[in-house]
Amino acid sequence: MFFPLNYTTLIFSLLPLLALTNAQSSISTSNSTGYTGYNLTLSSDPESATYDTEDTPANVSTTFPPPDVYLNASVHIGEIDILVANLSAKINLDASVLNLLKFNAGVDLSIDRVSLTIQNVTAKVLLEARLENLVLMIDDILHSLDLNPVLATLGQDLTNITNTTVGALTGATSNLKRSVPLQPYDLVHNILFSTNDYSGNTHKNRILEQNGDIVDQLLDNDGNIQSQTVVGSYLKDMSFNGDNVTVTLGGREAQKLEYVYEPFRGLSVVSFVWVAVGGAGEVLGTQVLSERFAGGESTIGD
């Protein structure tokens, strides 16, 4: 016995099947659907379902401040259509009453064409980068450096300074090596400040020598030293700020003293002076650490 069933067109319309929106609820770990971070809501249509993503909680307390970087993504699929064409089924039944009832059944199913359509897909991504905390950190660092310029020298291995100060008192040149390359020209050459007159081909660099003397060097426009004169010393013209550390320099025990040079308003130069312990004030070396001044400045050098 045959019961033919013919369906020329069978359409399953799922509208909407999937919609991801911003829900105003806290994040849950899991639910009955087996998904994490999603809520399943059934509408009046039994063949439709709505999935909602759960939004990030809006925490504004000090315990949970707003994140510095916030990302929220949502995807909406408006319609999914499934088209099944020429669906046919044949059922074969063979029943017998005598000889203790026999029953056979067979099904022949065929589908000519299946079409799947997904449309009205929209996606939104919200990315917020809040840089207030970064700005505050940078501002704190700049403010600290402004109050204490010596902080700019942290991390520099100043104990690695090698001075050929055997002839320091006789005016011999010193060899200064620092572990951090590309230092400002003024700091490398112990220049306290500079005055320039490009029209008159006369320039002056005030130098802190390795023996503690303060020297004025006169230079031409090419940076050649024309003459130099001792105009003072660290003991007479600088102020000790109380920083005193005992170190070893060149195999000798020395006191590393921190001095501040402020010859006029608007200029403040911090320097290290190494004085030999038990050496009757012998200076083993000096190093300009930082300079703070108002206005612009240029320096001529070789």
Q: What is the tens place of the pLDDT at every residue in 129-151? A: 777 777 777 777 777 777 766 66
pLDDT band at 216 (very low <50, low <70, confident <90, very high): very high
Question: Residue 54's CB: how many other CB atoms inside 10 A?
Answer: 17
Q: 222 near 202, Cβ under 8 Å?
A: no
- pLDDT recorded at residue 215: 94
Give start and end residues of each alpha helix (H) in 127-245.
132-147, 185-188, 234-237
- 128 beta partners: 70
Question: Residue 43's CB: how many other CB atoms inside 10 A?
Answer: 11
pLDDT band at 57 (very low <50, low <70, confident <90, very high): low
Cα separation values, 188 from 76, 224, 228, 288, Å = 63, 17, 19, 8
pLDDT band at 47 (very low <50, low <70, confident <90, very high): low
Half-sphere exposure for 243 (CA within 13 Å, toward CB): 14
Q: According to the per-residue pLDDT averaged within each range, which of 24-33, 124-133, 255-264 is highest?
A: 255-264
Stretch 110-117: mean pLDDT, rounded? Answer: 78
The span from the CA of 23 to the CA of 53, in Å, is: 6
The b-or-e profile of 105-125 (16+ CB within 10 A means b, else e) is eeeeeeeeeeeeeeeeeeeee
The b-or-e profile of 207-230 (16+ CB within 10 A means b, else e) is bbbbbbbbbbbebeeeeeeeebee
The DSSP letter of residue 154 is: T
Please state whether beta strands 22-23 and 49-54 pair in parallel, antiparallel, or not at all (unpaired): parallel
Q: Say if residue 185's pLDDT is above 50.
A: yes
Residue 163 burial by CB count (10 A; 0-12/13-18/19+): exposed, middle or buried?
A: buried
Start-to-end Cα distance in the chain: 112
pLDDT tens figures, 80-90: 888 777 777 77
Which of 29, 27, 26, 31 lies closest to 41, judged by CA? Answer: 31
The span from the CA of 213 to the CA of 217, in Å, is: 12
Q: According to the per-residue pLDDT averaged within each range, which of 120-129, 143-152, 192-201, 284-293 is highest?
A: 284-293
Q: Say if residue 19's pLDDT is above 60.
A: no
Stretch 88-111: mean pLDDT, rounded? Answer: 65
The span from the CA of 9 to the CA of 88, in Å, is: 10
pLDDT band at 54 (very low <50, low <70, confident <90, very high): low
Q: Percent of the chain having pLDDT more than 70?
A: 56
* Edge-to-edge order in the sheet of strand 252-261: 239-249, 252-261, 267-276, 283-293
Q: Say if residue 260's pLDDT is above 50.
A: yes
